[in-house]
Structure 1
Amino acid sequence: MLNRVVLTGRLTKDPNLKITPNGHAVCMFTLAVNRKKATGNDKADFINCIVWRNQAEAAATYLSKGSLVGVDGRLETRNYENQQGQRVFVTEVQVESVQFLESKKEKPGSDPAPVDVHNQVFNNPGNDDLPF
């Protein structure tokens, strides 16, 4: 079985960083991902993403609304009962790797230039030794 998601999009708002009771960083953000349609009327999908530990801290520090990023991870679904007693289903990407695709100073609409974000460190979720 294979469950792999690769997306490129822009953050719809600033990332939300929280610390779990166990002391782990978790960062949540929503990506707007363009979807081309044959009719020419492009649409966007809004995908919820969750990043953990060191990558969560880096995402919260360096990303903001409008940032262009690439994410690689897996889809997960969960459900819960809301206050009205209705079952709510949620689908989100558990992000394993975040790629910052433009520098913080670039504006949306300019040609993105990949940024070196110490790929080996960020692609290893268990590595707690950030070089900066």
Structure 2
Amino acid sequence: MSLNKAMIIGRLGGNPEIKTISAGNTVANFSVATSENWTKDGEKKERTEWHKIVVWGKMADICGKYLSKGSSVYIEGRIQTRSWEDKDGQKRYTTEINANRVQFLDTKKSQSDSTSTDDNFAPAVTSEPQFNAGEEIPF
């Protein structure tokens, strides 16, 4: 038995990059920062991890429309490492989260409105990836 599942909550480091690839499939790429805070020897410490996120199909279109730098999101998906050769012929690797669930956590109202309720949160968007596993991601 095995399990490959990642769940993170964080903020986008930049606007999603949206591309249309073969057969009209859409892919969104963006990074999400998660932070860890602790105190060591009376001094506050913080570490930020950056996660590469890949979203496919209709869910990618929705992310491109509604997410932007600083947006707070919940991402659920599987971790995947892939490789490619760069322009100099060097083999490169990257590890990404292929999202199958994206939930927007920012309220629909202004961030300064303190009367937010659960009804103000954007709905979750879920989808199965719409790509051929052998197809290369164009970036």
> TM-score, normalised to structure 1's length?
0.81
Q: Which residue of 1 aligns with 2:10?
A: 9
Counterpart contact for 1:55–1:125, Cα < 8 Å: no
| 1:22 partner SS | helix
CA distance in 2, matches of 1:113, 1:30: 27
Counterpart contact for 1:101–1:112, Cα < 8 Å: no
% same residue: 30
CA distance in 1, matches of 2:47, 2:83: 26
Q: Would you say 1:46 and 2:50 are equivalent positions?
A: yes
Unmatched tracts of structure 2, length 5 or more:
130-139
Shift of 1:15: 0.6
Q: Which residue of 1 aligns with 2:19?
A: 18
- Summarize the alignment of residues 1-132 of structure 1 with structure 2, pairs less than 5 Å apart: 1-39=2-40, 40-103=44-107, 106-107=110-111, 115-117=121-123, 119=124, 122-125=125-128
Unmatched tracts of structure 1, length 5 or more:
127-132
**Alpha-carbon distance change, 53 to 84 in structure 1, aligned in 2, over 3 angstroms:** same
> TM-score, normalised to structure 2's length?
0.77
**Alpha-carbon distance change, 113 to 101 in structure 1, aligned in 2, over 3 angstroms:** farther
Higher fraction of strand: 2
Mark the structure with the bigger radius of gyration: 2
Find runs of 4+ consecutive structure 1 residues off by over 3 angstroms: 104-108, 110-114
